[in-house]
Every structure is written in C-alpha cells, then in structure tokens.
C-alpha cells in the first residue's frame, strides 16, 4: 500500500460544485496502465489525470488522461484542470507558461489569475480536421429523440471533426431542441460504429444561449462511452472550432467565443474558445477556462 495525494477541481467554472469535476493524482510512482485505469474507475468522474515526470526535461509534466473506461490522447478540461493544479501545488506565481506532455503531443499552457480565480489556456495541439461521416439528419434526430426538422440552423449541418478526439457536431434549432436531446446509445453505435476509446460523442449545439453575451449553447452526450452527459468538454470545443470556421467563415483576425455547457445538468460551465484566422483558414486556436479546487486527499493504493 502506498499513500498517493490527489486533488479534485471543478473545471470551466470559477464556482465550486459547477463545471466539470476532475481528479488529479500526483504521486504516480509504480502505477502501471491497468492501475491508473482502475483508479479512474474508482473516482468515476468523466476524467482523471495522473501527473508523471516529463520525458523532455524542458517540459513541466507528462499527463495521462483516463475516463472510467479508456485512456484518452487529449482532453480539454483535464488539460486546464491539470495545468492549474500543477501551478497551485508548486506555489508558482502567475502568470506561468509551460508545456505539458500528452499522448496527442506537447501542449503549451498559460496559467494566470484574475478577479474570478485561476485561469488556464492552452494552444490546441492539433487543429481540427473533418472526419468522414455519412449519417443523415433524420438518423441523427432519431438517435437524439428530436424531430428531423430540429437538426440544423442557418447553414450549419451535421459534421464530424477531430482535434485529437472525434465528435459528431449536431446543430439544432434552439434551446428547446437542445434541452430535449437524449442519446439512444444503441442507435448511436449503429450510426458511428463500435464503442471504443475514440468513438465520437454527440456535441449538440445551438446559437440561442441562456447566458447573456455567450456565443453558443452546447451539450455533449456519450452514454455509449459511460458518460451520459459531460458538463464541459474542451476537446469537443476543439473539434467545434472546425465547424465554426467552416460555416460562420470568420474574417481574418482573432475571434473569441464563449460556449456555455452543463446547464441542463445543473453544473453550468463556460469554455473560452479563441480562433486565429489567416487568409480565410484556421491558423491556430486556444481553449481556456477557470478551475477551482473542491477537495483533496490521499489514495491508499
């Protein structure tokens, strides 16, 4: 038995008991992949991270990310939460800029503090790329339990993008349709293929929002992966950057979007997505958000 310290943060929120919970395990010596997976299952949060020494001494840490069922190469709320947890554990003064190693590759992070608390932002390690997807809007609507005419708005149609983790991006007409969406996992697997670590979740979004000044309202449903609904999904926002660029065609410059999520779950979250557009194409992107510590303790494993 070994005592291993951990902390739990609520990510993409500056308020406790909101946002997306994340467990961060610091003392990882002697843990193999199977043990990390079992610990993630014990926490039973959407993700748990394990902080290991970096392979490159110029980097801050190597971060392994696990859902209760699978390891992920990249995820947004674990990156934001881990960056803030590492900074606070070290007692570092902000702002602090460093690189985390994830399976997807090096991830540059910046941690700072504002009037709402600790804030972290990271550069997307991969820009979103389209993934072929052939299901029509009627099939998607059936899987989500909404009417076919409620899928799509303006020129937005169903697409699939990946910025390291794939998502089927489903535009819906408004808050009512988004609120009624409920994923039929059997139908979804028939559309997307067997449920594996990188099977796509459904990222349902609309332009109508609850919060004044927010850009999009979203939900992420992935019951086939053991996550009926996720309160805040940074990797989905990374994929969503591809759809925004494709359908909204932002002019050259820096664009900032506030994406609200988790409201239907009673865990309101806010994700900041920034796009750098050059010559009409996406040249870079960043995802940021606040995080606040809600608990800490030790594992005896």
Residue numbers annotated as active site: 47
Phi, psi of 157, deg, nearest 5: -130, 170
Which residues share a beta bridge with 300?
Answer: 3
Residue 279, Ramachandran bin (φ over 0: left; ψ between -120 and 50: alpha; else beta): left
Pairing of strands 105-114, 117-123: antiparallel
196: phi then psi, degrees, rounded to nearest 5: -130, 180
DSSP string for residues in the chain: --EEEEEEEEES-SSTT-SEEEEEE---TT--HHHHHHHHHHHTSS-EEEEE--SSTTSSEEEEEE-SS-EES--HHHHHHHHHHHHHHHTPPSSEEEEEEETTEEEEEEEEEETTEEEEEEE-SS--EE------HHHHHHHHTS-GGGB-BTTB--EEEESSSEEEEEEBSSHHHHHH----HHHHHHHH-S--TTPPEEEEEES--SSTT-SEEEEEEEGGGTEEEES--HHHHHHHHHHHHHHH-PPSEEEEEEEEE-GGGT--EEEEEEEEEETTEEEEEEEEEEEEEEEEEEEE-
**Contact of 15 with 26, CB cutoff 8 Å:** no
């Amino acid at each position: 038995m070994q005592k291993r310290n951990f902390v739990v943060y609520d990510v993409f929120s500056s308020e406790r008991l909101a946002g997306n919970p994340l467990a961060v395990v610091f003392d990882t010596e002697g843990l193999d992949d199977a043990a990390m997976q079992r610990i993630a299952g014990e926490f039973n949060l959407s993700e748990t991270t394990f902080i290991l020494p970096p392979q490159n001494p110029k980097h801050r840490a190597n971060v392994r990310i696990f859902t209760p069922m699978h390891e992920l190469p990249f995820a947004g709320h674990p990156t934001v939460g881990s960056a803030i947890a590492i900074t606070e554990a070290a007692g570092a003064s902000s702002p602090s800029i460093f690189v985390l190693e994830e399976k997807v590759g090096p991830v540059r992070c910046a941690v700072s503090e504002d009037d709402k608390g600790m804030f972290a932002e990271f550069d997307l390690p991969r820009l979103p790329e389209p993934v072929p997807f052939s299901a029509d809007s009627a099939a998607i609507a059936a899987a989500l339990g909404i009417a076919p005419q409620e899928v799509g708005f303006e020129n937005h149609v169903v697409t699939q993008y990946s910025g390291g983790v794939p998502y089927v991006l489903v535009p819906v007409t408004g808050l009512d349709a988004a609120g009624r969406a409920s994923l039929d996992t059997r139908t979804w697997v028939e559309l997307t293929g067997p449920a594996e670590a990188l099977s796509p979740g459904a990222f349902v979004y609309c332009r109508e929002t609850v919060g004044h000044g927010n850009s999009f309202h979203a939900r992420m449903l992935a019951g086939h992966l053991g996550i009926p609904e996720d309160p805040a999904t940074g990797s989905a926002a990374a994929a969503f950057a591809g759809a925004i660029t494709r359908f909204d065609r932002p002019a050259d410059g820096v664009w900032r979007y506030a994406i609200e999520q988790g409201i239907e779950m009673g865990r309101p979250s806010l994700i900041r997505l920034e796009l750098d557009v050059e010559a009409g194409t996406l040249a870079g992107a960043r995802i940021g958000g606040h995080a606040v510590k809600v608990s800490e303790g030790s594992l005896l494993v």
